Amino acid sequence: MTNIEYNNELIQKYANLRRTINEEYINIHPIQRGGILTPEACKALISYGDGYSLCDNCLKGRIDQIENPPVGEFLKDMAKFLNIDNVMVTASARESKRLLMKVISKKYPKRKTVVVDSLAHYTTYLAIETNNLKVREVPNSGEPEFKIESNDYENIINQVIEQEGELPLLVVLTHVDYKYGNYNEPKPIGKICQNFRVPFLLNAAYSGGILPIDCKKDFIDFIACSGHKSMASSGPIGILGFKEEFHDDVMVNSKIVGPISLKSFPNKICTVMGCPPVYGAPLITLMASFPTIVKRTREEFVKEEAKKANYIVEYIKNINGITILGKLPKIHPLTNIKTDCFAEIAKNHPRKGFFLRDEFKKRGIIGMLPGISKEMKFSSYGLTWEQVKRFSNAFLEIIKKYAPI
């Protein structure tokens, strides 16, 4: 007996869940733009909706070795795409970071410090915390650019060596940060890490699938990507790319033996608990979108998307009370702005800060943080030019509505 009844109330609450809003609106939230499914992924999603749909023809008990559909081949193609030796799928980019830190902690048990840029995502910090490691930050230049200097990595690494008598365990660079969308060139930092012989992780959750990445050229040892954030996958699904020299550290085969049953599982990869939890929709949609991902990270597409982002910036930057934050011109379309002009309106508006979300919504645009009027974060990735112009224009319209000249 359970405490819950099967009745009309229960059915009404759960049996008709729809995300209708997204069908008529542009969603400019940066976590949404890169994950929107391709038509190919939509079709694959419907076909492979059941939980273990990828496992119909699993012959070896390993998701990474499934041949039909071509998972094994896909992982090799993804490795080529990122130009790194190996690729494994994980539950998410955050999970890639967590398990990577765990495996290299085991390799270098005396090294306790992870060096990160000070714009790292909160999950980078949580991966450090959950692995009982320490964090050191590389500073940024503060407002308005919040720029990271590659050379500061060298200083911080030297400080760690001096103060702890050990190398850092890992150096992390956030390729494109969640806050200002600043693009950081990995190569100079990769070179520094190579000189110190410290493993270098690129967190490409916002960039892998949006911008071109070449791990070998940039001295990247590990890369974490997000299928649902930037690779048009339903997900959640992460990618962990790693150099061959770390293969046996990441791909650890199980050694446990049942003392009575004598069961053992030497074919299973302990690091990902056997098969990572992506047995159906997450991985199949990532695979289905892969050709588009390859296409959209080519130079002409990337340039066009940057053009849209910079168009918006140019259009709104001279509005009184708007300040563009982060480095310019934009390379990645994630943009952060201070909106003192809107904060001023909010003061006297009956809906307070919520007025801003309302006003954009009236104009067919959603994804603003509710109640916030002092700053805004958005991404124009994948919008049509018509939508880019509508979005840019909305700023002026709202300003004019409340402060008619």
Pair 283, 71: CB distance under 8 Å:
yes
Q: Which is nearer to a copy of itself, 212 or 321 (CB)?
A: 212
To a copy of itself, the closest distance from the beta carbon of 122 in angstroms equals: 5
What ranges make up the beta strands (E) of 133-274? 134-138, 170-174, 200-203, 222-226, 238-242
Helix (H) or strand (E) holding 402: helix 385-402
Output the DSSP codes for 3-22.
S---SHHHHHHHTT---THH
Q: How far is CA 304 from the centre of its chain?
A: 21
Pair 92, 237: CB distance under 8 Å:
yes
Contacts of 244 (CB under 8 A, 6+ apart): 85, 86
To a copy of itself, the closest distance from the beta carbon of 395 in angstroms equals: 22
Tell me which DSSP letter residue 180 carries: T
How many other CB atoms are found less than 10 A from the CB of residue 42? 16
SS3 of 306, please?
helix
Q: Which is nearer to a copy of itself, 24 or 348 (CB)?
A: 24
SS3 of 58, please?
coil
SS3 of 112, please?
coil
Q: Which is nearer to a copy of itself, 316 or 327 (CB)?
A: 327
Burial class (CB in 10 A: 0-12, 13-18, 19+), 255: exposed
Q: Which is nearer to a copy of itself, 272 or 388 (CB)?
A: 272
To a copy of itself, the closest distance from the beta carbon of 394 in angstroms equals: 19
To a copy of itself, the closest distance from the beta carbon of 147 in angstroms equals: 14
To a copy of itself, the closest distance from the beta carbon of 118 in angstroms equals: 4
To a copy of itself, the closest distance from the beta carbon of 344 in angstroms equals: 24
Q: Which is nearer to a copy of itself, 40 or 344 (CB)?
A: 40
Helix (H) or strand (E) holding 88: strand 86-90
Q: Which is nearer to a copy of itself, 142 or 350 (CB)?
A: 142
Mapping DSSP onto H, E and C, the string for 178-198 reads CCCCCECCHHHHHHHHHHHCC
Q: Which two tokens stand for residue 342?
A: 């809107």
To a copy of itself, the closest distance from the beta carbon of 405 in angstroms equals: 34
To a copy of itself, the closest distance from the beta carbon of 400 in angstroms equals: 28
To a copy of itself, the closest distance from the beta carbon of 310 in angstroms equals: 23
How far apart are the C-alpha atoms of 258 and 206, rounded to whole Å? 42
Q: Which is nearer to a copy of itself, 215 or 341 (CB)?
A: 215
The angle formed by the CA atoms of residues 360, 365 and 366, to the nearest 5 degrees, is: 95
Tell me which DSSP letter residue 54 carries: G
To a copy of itself, the closest distance from the beta carbon of 341 in angstroms equals: 24
How far apart are the C-alpha atoms of 103 and 86, rounded to whole Å? 15
Q: Which is nearer to a copy of itself, 180 or 313 (CB)?
A: 180
Place of tokens 């306790």: 112
Residues linked to residue 113 through DSSP beta bridges, in sequence order: 134
Tell me which DSSP letter residue 70 carries: T
Q: Which is nearer to a copy of itself, 49 or 329 (CB)?
A: 49
Q: Which is nearer to a copy of itself, 18 or 347 (CB)?
A: 18
To a copy of itself, the closest distance from the beta carbon of 248 in angstroms equals: 16
Q: Which is nearer to a copy of itself, 21 or 403 (CB)?
A: 21
Pair 225, 82: CB distance under 8 Å:
yes
